């Protein structure tokens, strides 16, 4: 007699930002959920024999959900920062990038000095917001809750430029040829990593091992080329 497989895969509850940071991932409810992080997480969890259950949350509450253990991890363009590192666990980084300034095609940015008197758009509670407050405190700032809203403000002339993570800016610019990257901001080297509950060392170490393996066996590079072939960081 053959018994059915009794072992069930462990399910990981994975948090996604409701303001989808494409090409990291698209809107989960769009019917075409895809992106770099979707492929990468799938490769990692396949290797570990884990199942994924996605949950979409507002950025304003997603970290709290992870902090309280209502999510197992967040894989949604989370930048490692010192304050986040203090309250969350992070895997090794899976993507290195910079912040960049996005402007309209007809405009020019030659350097940081050109930011003077400009109205700068930023998304709330992001590293870009922290950077602008620290480096351009005298500038007029416009805050947006979502990237979609932020880019719309630039297109409609409500802001002169916006600051965003370069991979996400690259994703927006692929679809909008009226905008361009004006410059990459010096001293803003950053990394995305998977955020986990503080103290979840076992899961972090498992993920780190597989991330290393995927870089060694070329799977990571294949996924990278698929999503970032035409995007500059």
Partner 1 sequence: MEPFNIKIGYGAKEVTLTILPIGDHQYKVIYYAAVLGGLKYDRDCWEAIPIENLEAGDLPFYQHNVDSGNVNVILNEATVDEIGEEIEHLFSAEEDL
Site string for partner 1, 71-100 (x = CB under 8 A): --------x-xxxx-xxx------------
| CA trace torsion 117, 187, 146, 58 (10° rounding) | -140
Structure tokens at 127: 């590293």
Residue 59 in contact with partner 1, rule: CB under 8 A: yes
Instruction: Convert 31-41 to b/e letters by CB count within 10 Å (16 or more is b).
Output: eeeebbbbbbb
**Minimal distance, residue 223 CB to partner 1, in Å:** 26
Residue 189 in contact with partner 1, rule: CB under 8 A: no
Q: Which of 67, 136, 228, 233 binds partner 1 (CB under 8 A)?
A: 67
Helices (H), the chain: 36-48, 59-67, 82-87, 127-135, 147-155, 166-175, 201-216, 219-228
Number of residues that bind partner 1 (CB under 8 A): 23
**Nearest residue (CB) to partner 1, 37 versus 165:** 165
Q: State how far the Cα of 153 lies from the Cα of 115, in Å rounded to an integer.
A: 17
Task: Give yes or no for a contact between 150 and 144, defined as CB atoms under 8 angstroms apart.
Answer: yes
Residue 174 Cα to chain centre, angstroms: 17
Q: Which of 27, 34, 107, 129 binds partner 1 (CB under 8 A)?
A: 129
**Nearest residue (CB) to partner 1, 126 versus 166:** 126
CB-based contacts of 192, cutoff 8 Å, min separation 6: 24, 77, 78, 79, 80, 93, 94, 95, 97, 167
**Minimal distance, residue 209 CB to partner 1, in Å:** 26
CB-based contacts of 206, cutoff 8 Å, min separation 6: 48
**Nearest residue (CB) to partner 1, 87 versus 201:** 87
Residue 24 in contact with partner 1, rule: CB under 8 A: no
Structure tokens at 101: 């300034």
Q: Which of 68, 110, 116, 177 binds partner 1 (CB under 8 A)?
A: 68
Site string for partner 1, 191-210 (x = CB under 8 A): --------------------
**Nearest residue (CB) to partner 1, 73 versus 179:** 73
- The site for partner 1 (CB under 8 A) is made up of 59-61, 63-64, 66-68, 79, 81-84, 86-88, 124-127, 129-130, 133
């Amino acid at each position: 007699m053959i018994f059915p497989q009794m072992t069930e895969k462990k399910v990981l509850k994975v948090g996604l930002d409701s303001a989808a940071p494409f090409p990291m991932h698209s809107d989960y409810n769009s019917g075409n959920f895809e992106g770099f992080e979707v492929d990468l997480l799938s490769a990692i969890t396949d290797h570990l024999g884990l199942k994924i259950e996605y949950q979409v949350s507002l950025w304003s509450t997603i970290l709290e959900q992870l902090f309280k253990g209502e999510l197992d991890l967040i894989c949604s363009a989370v930048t490692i920062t010192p304050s986040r590192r203090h309250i969350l666990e992070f895997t090794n980084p899976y993507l290195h990038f910079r912040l960049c300034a996005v402007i309209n095609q007809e405009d020019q940015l030659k350097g940081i000095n050109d930011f003077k008197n400009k109205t700068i758009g930023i998304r709330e509670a992001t590293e870009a917001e922290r950077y602008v407050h620290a480096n351009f405190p005298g500038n007029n700032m416009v805050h947006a809750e979502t990237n979609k809203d932020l880019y719309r403000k630039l297109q409609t002339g409500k802001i002169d430029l916006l600051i965003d993570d370069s991979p996400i800016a690259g994703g927006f610019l692929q679809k909008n040829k009226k905008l361009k990257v004006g410059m990459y901001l010096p001293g803003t080297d950053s990394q995305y990593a998977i955020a986990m509950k503080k103290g979840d060392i076992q899961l972090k170490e498992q993920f780190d091992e597989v991330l290393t393996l995927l870089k060694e066996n070329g799977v990571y590079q294949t996924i990278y080329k698929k999503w970032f072939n035409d995007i500059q960081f």
